[in-house]
Amino acid sequence: MNRKFRRCVLVCFLVFLAAFAAACGSSESERKDEEAVSSTDGKTAEDSLKEKLGGGSQIDTSVSFAEAHDGFTTTLARKENDDYSIPAPPEGLFDLVSYPSKVGDLAAYVSGDPGDGGKHPMIIWVVGGWGNGIDDFPWTYPEWDNDQTGSAFWQEGVLTMYPSFRGGCGNPGNYEALFGEVDDIVSAYEYAASLPYVDPERIYLGGHSTGATRALLASEYTDKFRAVFCFGAVDEIKYHNNTQFTFDLNKEDEFVMRSPIHWLDSIKSPTFLIEGRDGNSENLERMLAASDNEKLCGYVIEGADHFSTLAPLTRVVARKILEDAGAEPSISITQEELDAAMKQEPSVPEPVMTERRLEEPGITFSCPYLWEIGENEDGSGVNLYSRYEEENPWDLSALYITYYSAEDSGDLQSFGESMEAQGFTVNEISVGGYPAIDAFASSSGDDGQVYYQRYVSVRNDAGFVDFNFITFDDYKEEADPLFQKVIDSIGFDS
């Protein structure tokens, strides 16, 4: 098969691949969204639970939450856990570790040692949803209107820990729906404080939705955290999705032990509640009205919902953490600066990159960590594309790499002329120290979609290596820097 015909087949294949990706099913972030429940849904849950509960609670809420929690034994109506596998984290960015807890060793992703001999601040981030495990969610594309990843912290330079909890990902124990998980968060703190590159006096805690409620309960339990940040916590657990409750629903004590509003006076670390007006803001306002604890601060963001506060405001929190370097906590947040941050222009994050190596052509290059790689049918190359299908340039872009021997390849000049004849803009560049052609164009496919294609062909000692990138034309401005990062990383065996 000659080179020109291979290129025609290649273009058709990539157009099909992009269209296929756009048509595929639900994503990881959608899964997380579905697990978050607003206060409107919670009222329905409240009505049904009122019918179940009777007799009132026997819990003494005048004692500290730590005393009440440690003296209470939860009753699980059903024992649930999972054995989901844990993907390897991006090498050099995070380590997969085990941290000891009351039920045994639990898995976590933890930022690696910066290697500078210093001690650094760290935040433990608890994602939303009811799952007790961890997965590659932190490295998926963080949408500006719904960034539940917590990636703003490590992108800004704050060491980060993503803990799993009892019962998740093959961990010992069972889901306890906001009871034993509080103990696990404290155990995660103890592990973080033991790391030689972490400042034990500057360990923070944060979370979103169910993760925020877990974080708030942990703040009521212990004063070990320097500050705690809760995005969308609820005041009473009955406002969460009660289909996820594994405890005995007929015992009101179980609800009291999982509902932060009863224990707000136990908070001793600066704790910040943040929520959009269209999210769980009524829960936030009820907590502020219920307590005069000066350690508790709350902010309702007008014009925002349960998700849209995350991308802009976790970046604000990350910067506050980096500035909070004194002997005592000095974080101060104003409504005005949060409102101003919500008005900033969305920023496009860079993907976490990982190095790949192809033995046959003797090349190395970097690409997004979440791009899968597989050989094409005739073994003349590989194709790479995201394992997810979100509407963004990470997930709806593809790369196809093909290699040819010198005798089957022709020359760069004639290839460049051929591409120009097909409507491509062509530039002569150098890649990895070898001459190359960089061609790009937008064109319509048979399905009526407009695609952007960038085609880099490199002439090395063995022949040619072609890098064919494709995405939807709407994403070309965001995708081109990504493509360029891949191109700049290409290296050839000497």
Structural domains of the chain, ranges and CATH numbers in brackets: 3-24+351-492 (3.40.1000.10), 28-342 (3.40.50.1820)
pLDDT at 349: 78
Cα–Cα nearest to 162, from 248, 101, 89, 264:
89
pLDDT of amino acid 405: 81
Residues in Cβ contact with 117 at an 8 Å cutoff, skipping those fewer than 6 apart: none
Distances (CA, A) of 197 to 113, 117, 192, 396: 6, 7, 9, 38
Q: Around 202, how many Cα atoms within 13 Å sit in the side-chain half-sphere?
A: 24
* Integer angstrom CA distances of residue 119 from 144, 189, 202: 31, 15, 9
* Whole-number Å distance between alpha carbons of 204 and 198: 11
DSSP 355: E
* CA distance to 90, 110, 206, 399, 444, per residue, from 311 (Å): 21, 21, 14, 28, 34
Helices (H) and strands (E) in the chain, counts: 13, 18
- Burial of 354 from C-beta contacts in 10 A (0-12 / 13-18 / 19+): middle
Write out residues in the chain with pLDDT < 70, as ranges. Answer: 1-55, 406, 408-410
Residue 408 pLDDT: 63
pLDDT the model gives residue 13: 42
Structure tokens, 482 = 């990504």
Question: Measured on CA atoms in the order 208, 214, 219, 223, is the torsion positive or negative?
Answer: negative
Asked whether the beta carbons of 86 and 168 are under 8 A apart, the reply is no
CA distances from 320 to 3, 193, 312, 317, 338 (A): 56, 20, 13, 5, 12
Residue with tokens 């937008």: 442
Structure tokens at 262: 């009863």
Q: At what angle do helices 335-342 and 310-323 cross, to 10 degrees?
A: 130
The answer to whether the CB of 3 falls within 8 A of the CB of 409 is: yes
Q: Look at strands 104-111 and 120-126 and give their pairing.
A: unpaired
CA distances from 237 to 29, 44, 98 (A): 23, 13, 29
Q: Strand, coil or helix: what is 271? A: strand
DSSP string, 210-236: HHHHHHHHHHHH-S-SS-EEEES--SS
The alpha carbon of 172 is separated from its chain's Cα centroid by a whole number of angstroms, namely 24
Task: Please tell me whether residue 492 adopts helix, strand or coil conformation.
Answer: strand
pLDDT of res. 17: 42
Phi/psi of residue 236, each to 5°?
A: -130, 140
DSSP 307: T
- φ, ψ at 319 (rounded to 5°): -65, -35
Question: ∠93-95-273 over CA atoms, to 5°?
Answer: 80
The radius of gyration of the chain's CA atoms, rounded to the nearest angstrom, is: 26
Work out the angle at residue 22's Cα, subtended by the Cα atoms of residues 20 and 27, and round it to the nearest 5 degrees. 115
pTM: predicted TM-score of the whole model, two decimal places: 0.87
DSSP conformation class of 80: -
Q: Residue 95: which residues within 8 A CB-CB, separation 6 or more? A: 89, 109, 110, 111, 112
